[in-house]
Structure 1
């Protein structure tokens, strides 16, 4: 079976529970700082997963590899390659498909519900109003011809489907050890006080036992698309 390409942007925002749930070989690459990165051809991979990161999705000057990621994502959707974009990955996917990025649109950090507004085979296991982990301030418009799947008042586009691609602004990859890592990573917590950190930690203990099994089912749905491609 061809591997799934996983693009990461910083060491502490890895694929989390996504990678082991794919039941496929995984190639993890970080190319964000390279102006002309060498990426595998799409006929060499069975799917593409793009993770989060602290940078803006349109900051090509500071992070020149982002342009190559967006080009790869656009080509993947054209070629009907399964794609899963998470947080920054969803923003890159949206931009690749023609949507506009809004910097500092509204900060959402912590566990809070999203309203699921349309059916999707992959997103569906999360339910109609799941409580998920948010950690972002930028937002993306709905790409042309995409279907809006989930929303919040602060961030109208929380999830969308565009052909073979699913973008989710929230973090489906998080399990307890990854959340612990984030809560002890200065880059992640620089704008949070001790009370906010304690709330996220206690909310994680309350919500992750429900969220993690649902996220595993979401990944299984994506993995089925990957297996179909082979």
Structure 2
């Protein structure tokens, strides 16, 4: 387990991060957490690192990855990961933020359904907030439609009982959802930085989905296409991060 300590821990908050490939980390959130003085521990599940005790953590952040939620034979660590997510959200009742695979794992762990979409969704694209999303504290101060960055082939096809859709688009009906008062899934990649596209293009599964979705010519230009949108992505990420930190703080006070 890789512990990233910001000294002193001004916020008093401690986050646990599950990663499924080393280049899918919290991205721009690392900068925000450093500024806020948040301590966070990263567990690289695909490298065989064990899941620690969950009780010391105020929030669980689960990142993306090239795996699919149903590939338990190929990736047996998916079973204890789902169990940990379920326990953190349902039994401990603590805030959760899942991105891409982390979004799908939240749905699967709580009884929803995840399956392959009709085609991969890769690159910049818009999502619309639902009425519930526009009223949700996670999206406070964010506009609709919201410019996002996508890179996924699977999608949440059926929500867990009691969950609510917060964002959608034509390609994917569940771009964001909430379970309970503080467990959130985002299908899109809010954590994107200037290193995201070139690093992810080196992952064979991602490169294949990129070319399927965009074709070879546009795929080769994706980093350039995305570069001009990075300031807007960063602004939206900061707002969402600030909103999530407020949700975590309120959860601690409950």
TM beyond 0.5? yes
Which digits, 9 at most, give the CA deviation of each residue in 1:158-183, with x for residues without a partner?
10011221100000010112233224
The answer to whether the aligner puts 1:132 opposite 2:143 as a matched pair is: no
Aligned to 1:158: 175
Going from structure 1 to structure 2, the CA distance change for 1:120 and 1:56 (only over 3 Å counts) comes to: same
Pick the structure with more strand per residue: 2
Q: Identify unmatched segments of 5+ residues in structure 2.
A: 1-11
1:13 to 24, 41, 48: 24
- C-alpha distance in 1 between matches for 2:47 and 2:105: 15
Match of 2:3 in 1: none
Report the Cα offset of residue 10 of structure 1: 0.4
Q: What is the aligned partner in structure 2 of residue 85 from structure 1? A: 98
Equivalent runs, 1:6-45 vs 2, <5 Å: 6-22=17-33, 23=36, 24-32=38-46, 34=48, 38-45=50-57
Residue aligned with 2:162, SS: coil
The one of 86, 90, 99 aligned to 1:74: 86
- After TM superposition, give the deviation of residue 147 of structure 1 in Å: 1.0
Q: Distance in 1 between matches of 2:202 and 2:66?
A: 15
Q: 1:179 to 1:227 in 2, by over 3 A?
A: farther
Is contact 1:134-1:169 (8 Å) kept? yes
Q: Deviations over 1:73-105 (max 9, x none)?
A: 111222221100000000000011110111244
Give the TM-score normalised by structure 2.
0.82
Offset at residue 123 of structure 1 (A): 2.7
CA RMSD of aligned residues (A): 2.0
Which moved further from structure 2: 57-66 or 189-198? 189-198
* Pairing partner for 1:60 from 69, 72, 81: 72
* Conservation of the 8 A alpha-carbon contact between 1:126 and 1:211: no
After superposition, give the CA deviation of every residue in 1:5-26 in whole Å (9 maximum; x if it has no partner).
0000001111101233233101
- Aligned position for 1:197: 219
State the secondary structure of the residue aligned to 1:68.
helix
Residue 43 of structure 2 contacts residue 50 of structure 2 at CA under 8 Å; is this kept in 1? Answer: no
- Structure of higher CA gyration radius: 2
Q: How does 1:162-201 map to 2 (within 5 A)?
A: 162-163=179-180, 164-191=182-209, 192=211, 193-201=215-223
Which residue of structure 2 lines up, in the alignment, with residue 207 of structure 1?
Answer: 229
Relative to 1, partners in 2 of residues 1:124 and 1:143: Cα closer, same or farther, differing over 3 Å? farther
Q: TM-score, normalised by structure 1?
A: 0.90
Secondary structure of 2:228's counterpart equals: helix
- Equivalent-residue separation in structure 2 for 1:159 and 1:64 (angstroms): 26
Structure 1 runs (4+) greater than 3 angstroms displaced:
183-187
